[in-house]
Amino acid sequence: MNSTTSDAGVVDVIGVGAGFTGLYLSYRLASAGWTFAGFEAGPSVGGTWFWNTYPGARCDVESIYYSYSFDEALQQEWTWSQRFAPQAEILGYLEHVADRFDLRKHFTFNTRVLGATWNEGDRLWEVRLDNGETRRCRYLISGAGGLSTPKEFDVPGLENFTGLRVSTSRWNISLDDLAGKRVAVIGTGSSGVQAIPLIAEVAEHLTVFQRTPNYVMPARNAELTPEQVAAVKQDYAAIREECRHSPGGIPDRPVTDRAFDVSDEERRRRYEQAYERSGFLGVGAEFVDLLTDAEANRTASEFIHDKIREIVKDPATAELLVPKYHPLGAKRSVFGTDYYETYNRPNVSLVSLRDEPIETMTENAIVTSAGSYDVDAIVLAIGFDAFTGPLYGLNLTGASGRKLQEVWRDGIRSYLGIMAADFPNFFMVAGPLSPALASNVVVSIEQAVDWIADLLEHARDTKATTIEATVEAEREWVEITEWTVAQTLYATTDSWYRGSNIEGKPNTFMGYVGGVGKYRRMCTEIAKRGYPGVEIDGETPSRTIGPIHQKIA
């Protein structure tokens, strides 16, 4: 096909979302000469960082890595203020990127994609928008994000509550609105853990309703010094390259010894050091077998248990906070500031929903099986319908006339987390079964966008009109992702990684955990071999990716 298509009104590419993905997608594809129309439900750019404005919101990946690498001048001129920049600064960064590269012109804001149907006759997507329009495009690319569809509160009675009610993922009040109030926070994942200490400072009383205790390690956030910033900027190209070829999208700290290779004293000393370092390369990454061997993991988990018991003064509260239900790192680790210390405040109390589940709510109270808690405000920090929530929200109807949610009813299937059989010319950036879930997602986003852009270029060169994953390649990729995760403790633990936080969602681990470096090398090899596993106008070098995964180190 020609990028200046002759079909009147048909745009080459429609992109969904104007977050980290949508912005880079628009830049990359417009630069390559494609016509691009982006639609964003929110009023401006930012995606996750536009919506999640709750107190304490910040990324759990260090900002010097959690940022774009595609433009040297951009990374030289932008200066992060802190190790983990707060939400407002990350949003400011994305606004800067949008303005600097003049990207807003590619987007229509306040416009949600309601549905999209593949038109086999014309070989294009018909995309329905909530402004009543239908737009047509050759390629449809989702940058709708993995954590953008808030989970519905699945406990009856919330509708009875007449006090102030707010969700961390759609925060629309100020912290002052909670001042002097009796506040309940429900949920203790990253969002709850970040918000709780700040809410505790203003509330008359804060009651935290915890279902599953998490391992919360100190974030050790700090201002970045001018010397640190200068050192990073001087070395940025090499740092980015290291991130791209690392396991998790951040510079690696390779370890080769196992937890029981060292004495108990030496192990403890190493954990203490790692605890000071914190971050994803902290305690959970101190020995090579912590995510693969349950006994090895127990040593690290118990180290954190002891830390909690040291910090929290009331022994009964400490015991409730000790995470006993899963190994450290098997669901996403949480990094906080003064989280456990907050439970030493006289105005904070903890309710364990494992011991006393919520039964209902009244107009001014949360009622559990053991009692009633009067509150003026409820903060829901209950997470997201990850990955499939945003995708199913696009209501895609594929070549066979079935919706994606029907095709994936018994479990997610994708090729590389990028394509889905029966959905020609549709691509997902940081989609299910990609490495995005367990990585610095910005690294995964840039890699996927570049790979998709190269594939579109390849199709343009051959004047092809349809690109589709084969069923065989998709099946193989599912097997590879399942085999890879089965080697780890991720396989043993319920979490949003597996969809188990949503009632009725098939329990499938939604990511590839073989490492972003290995994944990148595999994708590069697939491109080099002419895209096995991808049918381009019905032709493919091979319907499967064969032994490429085993061969790539």
CB-CB neighbours of 266 under 10 Å: 11
- Residue 55 CA to chain centroid, in angstroms? 19
How far is CA 425 from each of CA 118, 412, 416, 536, rounded to the nearest angstrom? 9, 18, 15, 10
Judge contact between 330 and 492, C-beta under 8 A. yes
> Could you tell me the smallest distance in angstroms from the CB atom of residue 457 to ligand NA7?
32
> Could you tell me the smallest distance in angstroms from the CB atom of residue 507 to ligand NA7?
13
Q: Closer CB to ligand NA7, residue 190 or residue 397?
A: 190
> Could you tell me the smallest distance in angstroms from the CB atom of residue 486 to ligand NA7?
22
> Could you tell me the smallest distance in angstroms from the CB atom of residue 206 to ligand NA7?
16
Q: Closer CB to ligand NA7, residue 194 or residue 447?
A: 194
SS3 of residue 303 by DSSP: helix
Task: Please choose, from the candidates 2, 59, 115, the residue with its C-alpha nearest in 3D space to the C-alpha of residue 463.
Answer: 2
Q: Closer CB to ligand NA7, residue 27 or residue 384?
A: 384
Q: How far apart are CA 322 and CA 332, in angstroms?
A: 16
Q: How far apart are CA 410 and CA 404, in angstroms?
A: 11
> Could you tell me the smallest distance in angstroms from the CB atom of residue 94 to ligand NA7?
16
Q: Closer CB to ligand NA7, residue 379 or residue 523?
A: 379
Q: Closer CB to ligand NA7, residue 69 or residue 190?
A: 190
> Could you tell me the smallest distance in angstroms from the CB atom of residue 441 to ligand NA7?
9
DSSP code at position 59: -
Q: Closer CB to ligand NA7, residue 189 or residue 389?
A: 189
Query: φ and ψ at 201, to 5 degrees?
Result: -70, -25
Q: Closer CB to ligand NA7, residue 186 or residue 250?
A: 186
Q: Closer CB to ligand NA7, residue 52 or residue 75?
A: 52
- Give start and end residues of each alpha helix (H) in 402-440: 404-407
Region at 416 (left for phi over 0; alpha for psi -120 to 50; beta for the rest): left
SS3 of residue 191 by DSSP: helix
Q: What tokens does 536 get?
A: 């381009």
Kind of pairing between the strands at 10-16 and 36-39: parallel
Task: Please choose, from the candidates 508, 520, 463, the residue with its C-alpha nearest in 3D space to the C-alpha of residue 1.
Answer: 463
DSSP code at position 259: G
Judge contact between 480 and 549, C-beta under 8 A. yes
Amino acid (one-letter) located at 406: E
Residue closest to ligand NA7 (Cβ): 189
**Using CB under 6 A as the criterion, which residues of the chain lie in contact with ligand NA7 when the complex forms?**
60, 147, 154-155, 186-192, 211-212, 332, 353, 381-384, 496, 501
Q: What tokens does 64 get?
A: 């010097």
SS3 of residue 530 by DSSP: coil
> Could you tell me the smallest distance in angstroms from the CB atom of residue 226 to ligand NA7?
29
DSSP code at position 352: E
Residue/partner pairs of 130-137 with CB below 8 Å, 24 or more apart: 135/9, 135/11, 135/14, 135/37, 136/7, 136/9, 136/10, 136/11, 137/10, 137/11, 137/12, 137/13, 137/14, 137/37
> Could you tell me the smallest distance in angstroms from the CB atom of residue 286 to ligand NA7?
21
> Could you tell me the smallest distance in angstroms from the CB atom of residue 480 to ligand NA7?
23
Q: Closer CB to ligand NA7, residue 249 or residue 424?
A: 249
> Could you tell me the smallest distance in angstroms from the CB atom of residue 114 to ligand NA7?
25
> Could you tell me the smallest distance in angstroms from the CB atom of residue 417 to ligand NA7?
17
Handedness of CA 449, 451, 454, 456 (dihedral sign): negative
- Say how many residues make up the chain: 553
Q: Closer CB to ligand NA7, residue 89 or residue 450?
A: 89
Q: Closer CB to ligand NA7, residue 124 or residue 285?
A: 285
Q: Closer CB to ligand NA7, residue 147 or residue 318?
A: 147
Judge contact between 435 and 511, C-beta under 8 A. yes
> Could you tell me the smallest distance in angstroms from the CB atom of residue 383 to ligand NA7?
3
